Amino acid sequence: MASLRYLHLDVFAATLGGGNHLGVVIGADDWSDAAMQRFARWTALVETTFLLPPTTPKASYRVRIFTPHKEIPFAGHPSIGSAHAAMVCGLAEARAGLLWQECAAGVLPIRVEGNGASRELLLQSPGERVLDTGREAHPSLPAALAGIELGVLPPALVDGGRRWWLAEVADEASLRAWQPDHAAIGALAKASDSMGLCAFARSNHHDYQLVVRAFPAGVGIVEDPASGAANGLIAAYIAHAEPHGTLARGYQVSQGREIGHDARLIVHMDGTSIWVGGRSHTVIDGTLDWDPRVA
């Protein structure tokens, strides 16, 4: 049984320890699906990924993404973190400023900007669709939004690799202080087959222009400290609703402070293309002593 390389990352962190955890396993080419799932369940991280050789010439590498309970086709922070790990471990290098990630959602481009500790990686997420809008768009939605004043854009159900309900809140202070009804959000997620509710508010802060709080009750998480895919959907919704607005060319996001984190995400908009990303930090780089044959 060979030891494998294992990285533990802090993804989207504005300050050390402020981002989202990610475990990345390198070299588990011969592990079964069950072995990967067993290890992901043991880490108990929101997601654990496995970097593998690509199956198509276009891809720089291949990634499989597991929650503790199941494999998922796509997610934002695991994609950005896995791209960081692929570069750190010498498995891939950018060509014309891009990496190409193969995952169950397809082959997706990742933009590489800068070098070393200041390097930023931005993912072009799968296409987004606005499925429904309005406070009455679903019978369970009003209860999930109880106790908060809504902002300019109406609530919306948006799909793009992952399905989220999005809601703009009237101001930053209200969003940061909000104590949502997590049971109501869970009921909404279950009834609409969605991740849950992602709320956002505009800000005049000099370091960021949007504050985001994500409640992915649909996968058993109370609040997420940094949400790449959800932020991609928010950006797509804003671009769709306000194509000439002040946020239409891009902005920076603050997320996670309400649960003791400090995440910073970057959104770039190039015409119809939306890129979401930020920095990743390698916190642990070691070896994994794990027998994949154990049931």
Q: Which residues contact 162 (CB under 8 A, 6 or more apart)?
A: 72, 74, 75, 195, 229, 230, 233
Q: How confident is the model at residue 295 (pLDDT cuts 50, 70, 90)?
A: confident
d(CA 223, CA 56): 36
Total length of the chain: 295
CB 205 within 8 A of CB 98: no
Check pLDDT > 90 for residue 267. Answer: yes
Question: CATH topology for 129-273?
Answer: Diaminopimelate Epimerase; Chain A, domain 1 (3.10.310)
Instruction: Convert the pLDDT of each residue in 198-222 to its tens digit.
Output: 999 999 999 999 999 999 999 889 9
20 backbone dihedrals φ, ψ, rounded to 5°: -110, 135
d(CA 60, CA 91): 8
**Average pLDDT rounded to a whole number, residues 109-136:** 91
Q: How confident is the model at residue 127 (pLDDT cuts 50, 70, 90)?
A: confident
Q: How confident is the model at residue 1 (pLDDT cuts 50, 70, 90)?
A: low
Query: Which residue bears the tokens 């009804």?
Result: 181
Helices (H), 62-212: 76-88, 141-144, 172-177, 182-192
d(CA 21, CA 17): 9
- The chain-wide mean pLDDT, for the chain, equals 95
User: Kind of pairing, strands 48-52 and 210-215?
Assistant: unpaired
Assigned token pair, 119: 């390097």
d(CA 200, CA 210): 7
Query: Which residue bears the tokens 């920095």?
Result: 279
In this prediction, residue 3 carries a pLDDT of 86
Amino acid at 36: M
In this prediction, residue 117 carries a pLDDT of 82
Nearest C-alpha neighbor of 276 from the set 226, 223, 203, 222: 226
Residue range(s) occupied by CATH 3.10.310.10 in the chain: 4-119+279-288, 129-273
In this prediction, residue 272 carries a pLDDT of 78
**Average pLDDT rounded to a whole number, residues 71-99:** 95
Query: Which residue bears the tokens 């919704």?
Result: 237
pTM (whole model) above 0.75: yes
Query: Which residue bears the tokens 């070393």?
Result: 116
Assigned token pair, 132: 């429904």
In this prediction, residue 89 carries a pLDDT of 96
**Top-tier CATH class for 4-119+279-288:** alpha beta
Instruction: Convert the pLDDT of each residue in 132-178 to its tens digit.
Output: 999 999 999 999 999 999 999 999 999 987 899 999 999 999 999 99
Amino acid at 148: I
